[in-house]
Chains A and B, each alone.
Chain A
Amino acid sequence: DTAVSQTPKYLVTQMGNDKSIKCEQNLGHDTMYWYKQDSKKFLKIMFSYNNKELIINETVPNRFSPKSPDKAHLNLHINSLELGDSAVYFCASSHLGTGVSNTIYFGEGSWLTVV
């Protein structure tokens, strides 16, 4: 009954490969996010989708392509992986708007290592 679940939890892959991370939330939220946490623990938003529509797209290389088949799922596909892509990728969800229902919930993270 995990609220925000992402798979895989760990991923080790070679440079140049293409990989995907999947995320699902069962909280009934209308908005989902991808965040990246680097080796210095700094957390930065990458993308946000509201009801399957892209609403935030930070300055992320276009090798990263999010896809939201429905409002409960947000997947992240990464092409031509580079060493600098090694990080922990967190999926999250919330309701859009103000108020305590705007609280954001995070998945457990996906540890990506590019060798």
Chain B
Amino acid sequence: GIQVEQSPPDLILQEGANSTLRCNFSDSVNNLQWFHQNPWGQLINLFYIPSGTKQNGRLSATTVATERYSLLYISSSQTTDSGVYFCAVEPFNTDKLIFGTGTRLQVFP
């Protein structure tokens, strides 16, 4: 089956710093989404981005489908950005999202 690897596995930042999270996947996909799981366990949908670039406030994402990777950029990080960031992909003809291994982000004041 498809492999979805995220890097780095852990990231510690001071408030105000920028960061880039990466998601590599081993096969072509129909769908790619980024999620944030906050410290209370809630999974929040950040982006639906099977290709191209999108921006939402301090967050932006880029997916290069032909090269099988996606990047999530967090600028001017805040303590509320702490949590685990997951990318999830839907391989063609499967109708199911396969989650990556996650990046645990801690932002300190």
Contact = CB atoms under 8 A, between A and B. Distances in A.
Interface in A47-91: 48, 50, 55-56, 88, 90
Contacts of A31: 95
B45 A45 contact: no
A89 to B, nearest CB: 11
Interface in B28-64: 30-31, 33, 35, 37, 41-43, 45, 48
| Chain B contact residues: helix, strand, loop or mixed | strand
Interface residues of A, number: 25
Given A90-B43, A98-B31, A109-B42, A48 B96 contact: yes
A57 B1 CA distance: 15
B21 interface: no
Contacts of B35: 106
Interface string A100-113: 10111110110100
Interface of B: 30-31, 33, 35, 37, 41-43, 45, 48, 84, 86, 88, 90, 95-99, 101-102, 104
